[in-house]
Amino acid sequence: MEEYTELRRRMVVDQISSRGITNAAVLSAMTDVPREKFVNENIRRSAYTDGPLPIACGQTISQPYMVALMAELLLPLSTDVMLEVGTGSGYAAAVLSRVVKKVYTVERHPDLAEEAKKRFAALGYNNIEVHIGDGTLGWAEHAPYDGILVAAGGPRAPRPLLEQLAMGGRLVIPVGPTQMEQVLTRFIRRGEEQWDEETFGEVRFVPLIGAGGWQVQ
């Protein structure tokens, strides 16, 4: 355990704060959440490397820096209620749960969703709820959200997600014209039909599959 604690500390210093992440709550969460608990046991020693790692169902756990960057771009407050699309291993939701009041997360792969639930329970992260379904449709039952994080790249920001933002709410999502070309983008809702848009560089995520994303081939 001490070994992983030191690896986490070094990860935050070398990979995250050194690249300009300054949000104190995000840095604290990245220091606290045990990333090694969110990957398969046979690759735990690689949990703190500077890159994504494979998980089940052909998905990935994102690079630590990217998790921190997307969390910071959400402009999180401790009172916020947020939605995550693409639970995956559960790591990003776990990080967000240490920063905001409540996290709802949607995963289309039942096996991943169930494993994430088990991890959250084992770690005592009781402010996260998991839903199995099409994340491009959001989770309207609990809307509006102060922030929405999408951990997969789509051709556009799905309309249901834009509509489920509260006024002033932030949506952070990779978007691009092909599954190989994505730009990290933040939308901020300013009115019923008005969203400010800002980009933050090229990224590479697994494709966002669903009614508001790419179709399964």
What pLDDT is recorded for position 1?
66
Q: Is residue 183 part of a domain?
A: yes
**Total structural domains within the chain:** 1
pTM given for the model: 0.95
Q: How far apart are the C-alpha atoms of 55 and 72, rounded to whole Å?
A: 24
Q: Is residue 189 part of a domain?
A: yes
What pLDDT is recorded for position 217?
58
Q: Is residue 90 part of a domain?
A: yes
What pLDDT is recorded for position 41?
87
CATH code of 141's domain: 3.40.50.150
Would residue 62 show up in a list of annotated catalytic residues for this protein? Answer: yes
What pLDDT is recorded for position 119?
96
Both structure tokens of 123: 């770690």
Q: Is residue 115 part of a domain?
A: yes
Catalytic residue among 17, 18, 46, 62: 62
Q: Is residue 21 part of a domain?
A: no
What pLDDT is recorded for position 126?
96
Q: Is residue 16 part of a domain?
A: no
**One digit per residue, pLDDT tens: the chain, 217 residues?**
678 999 999 999 999 999 999 999 999 999 999 999 999 888 988 999 999 999 998 899 999 999 999 999 999 999 999 999 999 999 999 999 999 999 999 999 999 999 999 999 999 999 999 999 999 999 999 999 999 999 999 999 999 999 999 999 999 999 998 888 899 999 999 999 999 999 999 999 999 999 999 987 5
Q: Is residue 39 part of a domain?
A: no
**Domain, as residue range, for 139:** 52-203
Q: Is residue 36 part of a domain?
A: no
